[in-house]
Amino acid sequence: MKIHEFQAKELLARFGVPVPRARVVSSPEEAEAAARELGAGQVVVKAQIHAGGRGKAGGVKVVDSPAAARALAERLLGRPLVTHQSGPRGQVVRRLLVEQGLGIARELYAGLVLDRERAQVALIASAEGGVEIEEVARRSPEKILRVHAHPITGLMPYQCRQLAFRLGLGKEQVTQAVALFTALQRAFLELDASLVEVNPLVVTREGQLVALDAKVNFDDNGLFRHKELAALRDEEQEEPAEVEASRHDLSYVRLDGDIGCMVNGAGLAMATMDIIKLYGGEPANFLDVGGGTDAKRVEAAFKIILSDPSVKAILVNIFGGIVRCDTIAQGVVAAVREVGIRVPLVVRLQGTKQAEGRDLIQASGLDIIAAETMQQAAEAAVAAVGRRA
Amino acid sequence: MSILVHAGTKVVIQGLGSAGKFHAGTMLEYGTRVVAAAHPGKGGERWGQVPLFDTVAQAVEATGADAACIFVPAGGAADAILEAADAGIPLVVCITEGIPILDMVKVKHRLDPRRTTLIGPNCPGVITPGACKLGIMPASIHRPGRVGVLSRSGTLTYEAVDQLTRLGIGQSTCIGLGGDPVKGLDFVEGLELFEQDPGTDGVVLIGEIGGQSEEAAARWLAERPRKPVVAFIAGATAPPGRRMGHAGAIIAGGKGTAAEKVEAFRAAGVRVVMSPAEIGVGMQAALAGK
């Protein structure tokens, strides 16, 4: 789960991470008042959307007066902001973060992620802040510094010091950095985060370390033990079909193609997308209906695919193990009956109760293309949208 | 021959809820020796023929169980894994999906790999066809034989096994490693076991996007003469930064793409099939030395 920058900063501040003084606003009037309240001089107005790349897209600007803050708010609020991460439709700006302007001496990077190979949380830092860490990693991997938190001890002060000295921080800042890194780690562990990132982490002209931007993502598997975090979810920032899918416990990711897919199991769902592409088609989505699914969930899944206007054909690929093919067939038939279908439907049912499933589809009288193997199914779906391999 | 599980394997079930009962039932039907179930507070009772114990340690002491199969819900699964390990069970299979990643980080560091082999979590389990089914995979698609299967996926593994069986290629042991980013047995350890097993002639390896397990396997395979391996990597069309169902199936920071993994295997001289429909025929060709 992703949250907004202002939420991430509020959370991190609770753990003792220094953040700029700021107000969250949702109207031009509030923006003007906030700028005035924050005092004389410059303020920074930051569009609150989940996607990164806001600065380059014009969503983050320094203004000189409350009136300018108001004018900028009028331009940003209520409109989608398109960044290189937001997708072509962008994400709607409902709130702005109005922050005190700081005099900046240096910009650094600090972030915590899971290092899968070592099964440990890693603190990553770089003296190159303000740019995407992936870019730094690509261009100059030697500039990425890394220490690991052992599950028993966590990050030790010496590890934080080591990192701080290697970042070239002065004695004063090293003490601050140790406290800040330790606080970031506590937040990561106590909130079941999957990412805690401060980029840039700035040293002000006065020598203070401040988290100028912050990003916190949560491990979805850990959310059940942090009920209070559910309130931070902003469904408007997510793809509507993905929100609907999550309500039905379905795993759905929208893609750019035109062949809708419904598959059981994540690996088979990915493989189905791959084989569509291999035969010259483009998948419209990833959709895993799950291991222990029932007809109701299949019906919901099918409706989500049908709600995507770019879908020109649908491929249902089921390998029945625990899931029975007749259950899937019931769900598909029920969904088609209820909402109708204007595009070709290819169904491949294999495994448990496959004969019963195929009979149900046959008996429904619906215009369905049956396929035996994955290859036949992919070929039929690609042919149906008129793009033969 | 086979690896990890065989006809003599004695299984204790942890988590006898509706899913646990259903799958334990299919395991019994297959002939697996389910000798006990741990159910705190129900020690002394029975589920059908299976005796229940309050703790896994009691179950081990009374029955000599040497494998555990865990269906405990996500919040208690880490506890269940360590209970089994501390009871001295050498093989622990955790089917449970959705365990918090930080729980698995602790488990991973707490387990002693010399004493405990963990399979999973978030996996279908392990099967030695005709001898022992320890998990939730559909039994009917498997045939006893001499090809090993190692996979991060569930249903895609069934698809691959089904292709093998239809071609008349039976399996020695099939292992679902699970779809989580932090897990027990990984490709390299699985390959080592199959390499040493005289009952295995070749290995099907099914990887997916995310992490570096496939790259590690490729390095391991490049370093020695070995049995034929056929690999497929799922997720060539997956967009970066999006979790594709499995918690571990995500291209993060531009790393862990299917293309990199395919390239790593090819560089190691491993046969890679690009179509999931060609896993079976790929193995057939590899066994024939083509």
Contact B157, B246 (CB under 8 A): no
Instruction: Return the bridge partners of B234, or none.
Output: B208
Residue A160 and residue A166: Cα distance in Å, rounded? 10
Instruction: Return the bridge partners of B127, or none.
Output: B133, B174
Show the CA angle centred on residue B185, arms to residues B142 and B216, nearest 5°: 105
User: If you count residue pairs, one on A and one on B, with CB atoms under 8 Å apart, how many are there?
Assistant: 183
Domains parsed from chain B with CATH numbers: 1-122 (3.40.50.720), 137-290 (3.40.50.261)
The reply to whether residue A267 touches residue B248, judged by beta carbons under 8 angstroms, is: no
Confidence of residue A180 (pLDDT cuts 50, 70, 90): very high
Q: Which residue in chain B has the smallest CA separation from A264?
A: B155
Q: Has residue A291 got a pLDDT over 80?
A: no
The residues, any chain, with a CB within 8 Å of residue B263's CB and separated by 6 or more, are none
| Residue A23: per-residue pLDDT | 96
Q: Has residue B181 got a pLDDT over 70?
A: yes
How large is the average pLDDT for residues B174-195? 97
Q: Which of A191, A219, A150, A253 is nearest to B248 (CA)?
A: A219
Q: Has residue B1 got a pLDDT over 80?
A: no
Residue A379 and residue B256: Cα distance in Å, rounded? 28
ipTM confidence score: 0.94
Contact A112, A180 (CB under 8 A): no
Contact B218, B270 (CB under 8 A): yes
Residue A23 and residue A36: Cα distance in Å, rounded? 11
3-class DSSP assignment, residue B111: coil
The percentage of residues in chain B with a pLDDT greater than 90, rounded to a whole number, is: 91
A270, A286, A350, A382: best mutation site toward chain B, by most B Cβ within 10 Å? A270
How large is the average pLDDT for residues A180-209? 97
- pTM surpassing 0.90? yes
Structure token digits, residue A346: 């290819």
Residue A293 and residue A324: Cα distance in Å, rounded? 9
Contact B231, B176 (CB under 8 A): no
A112, A116, A316: best mutation site toward chain B, by most B Cβ within 10 Å? A116
A338 secondary structure, DSSP code: H
Residue B194 and residue B202: Cα distance in Å, rounded? 8
Confidence of residue B189 (pLDDT cuts 50, 70, 90): very high
Q: Has residue B42 got a pLDDT over 70?
A: yes
H or E element: which one contains A179? Answer: helix A171-190
Going across the sheet that includes B117-119, the strands are B46-47, B50-53, B33-38, B10-14, B67-70, B91-94, B117-119
The reply to whether residue B102 touches residue A375, judged by beta carbons under 8 angstroms, is: no
| Residue B185: per-residue pLDDT | 97
Look at the block and give the residue holding tokens 């699964």.
Answer: B77
How large is the average pLDDT for residues A333-359? 88
Residue B133 and residue B6: Cα distance in Å, rounded? 9
* First-last CA distance in chain B: 25
Which of B211, B232, B242 is opposite residue A116, by nearest beta carbon? B211
Which amino acid is residue A154, in one-letter code? G
Residue B69 and residue B288: Cα distance in Å, rounded? 36
Which of A181-185, A342-346, B42-46, B211-215 is least confident? A342-346
The reply to whether residue B154 touches residue A321, judged by beta carbons under 8 angstroms, is: yes
Instruction: Return the bridge partners of B272, or none.
Output: B231
Confidence of residue A387 (pLDDT cuts 50, 70, 90): low
* Dihedral angle computed from the Cα positions of residues A178, A184, A187 and A189, in that order, rounded to the nearest 10 degrees: -80
Q: Which of A287, A205, A291 is nearest to A252 (CA)?
A: A287
Which residues of A are identified as catalytic?
A: 109, 197
Peptide bond into A200 cis (omega under 30): yes
B157 contact residues in A (CB cutoff 8 A): 267
Output the CA torsion sign for B79, B128, A269, B264.
positive
Residue B276 and residue B282: Cα distance in Å, rounded? 10
| Residue A389: per-residue pLDDT | 43
* Dihedral angle computed from the Cα positions of residues B149, B155, B159 and B162, in that order, rounded to the nearest 10 degrees: 70
| Residue A298: per-residue pLDDT | 86
Q: Which of A287, A309, A315 is nearest to A379 (CA)?
A: A315
| Residue A324: per-residue pLDDT | 83
Residues 26-45 of A with CB under 8 A from B: none
H or E element: which one contains A348? Answer: strand A345-351
Which of A249-253, A330-334, A375-379, B205-209 is least confident? A330-334
**In this predicted model, what pLDDT tens digit does every residue of B86-104 receive, in sequence order?**
999 999 999 999 999 999 9
**In this predicted model, what pLDDT tens digit does every residue of A155-172 receive, in sequence order?**
999 999 999 999 999 999
Q: Which residue in chain A has the smallest CA separation from B243?
A: A253
**How deeply is B224 buried, as exposed, middle or buried, from its count of CB atoms within 10 A (0-12, 13-18, 19+)?**
exposed
The b-or-e profile of A104-138 (16+ CB within 10 A means b, else e) is: eebbbbbbbbbbbeebbbbbbbbbbbbebbeebbe
| Residue B212: per-residue pLDDT | 95
> Is residue B46 within 8 angstroms of chain A, CB to CB?
no
3-class DSSP assignment, residue A45: strand
B155, B165, B204: best mutation site toward chain A, by most A Cβ within 10 Å? B155
| Residue A207: per-residue pLDDT | 96
Of residues B47 and B253, more confidently modeled? B47
Which of A192, A275, A319 is opposite residue B277, by nearest beta carbon? A275
Report the length, in residues, of chain A. 389
Q: Which of B143, B88, B154, B170 is nearest to B121 (CA)?
A: B154
B222 secondary structure, DSSP code: H
Number of C-beta neighbours around residue B267 at 10 A: 11
Going across the sheet that includes A313-320, the strands are A251-254, A285-288, A259-263, A313-320, A345-351, A368-371
* Dihedral angle computed from the Cα positions of residues A269, A272, A277 and A280, in that order, rounded to the nearest 10 degrees: -150
Q: Has residue A328 got a pLDDT over 90?
A: no
How large is the average pLDDT for residues A225-241? 92
Structure token digits, residue B28: 């019994």
A22: left (phi over 0), alpha (psi -120 to 50) or beta: beta
**How deeply is B133 buried, as exposed, middle or buried, from its count of CB atoms within 10 A (0-12, 13-18, 19+)?**
buried
Q: Has residue B199 got a pLDDT over 90?
A: yes
Mean pLDDT, chain B, rounded, equals 95
Instruction: Return the bridge partners of A60, or none.
Output: A46
Output the CA torsion sign for B17, B49, B125, A262.
negative
Q: Has residue A388 got a pLDDT over 60?
A: no
Residue A24 and residue A6: Cα distance in Å, rounded? 7
Contact B149, B165 (CB under 8 A): no
How large is the average pLDDT for residues B147-161? 95
Residue B126 and residue B133: Cα distance in Å, rounded? 6
**In this predicted model, what pLDDT tens digit does every residue of A71-87 receive, in sequence order?**
999 999 999 999 988 88
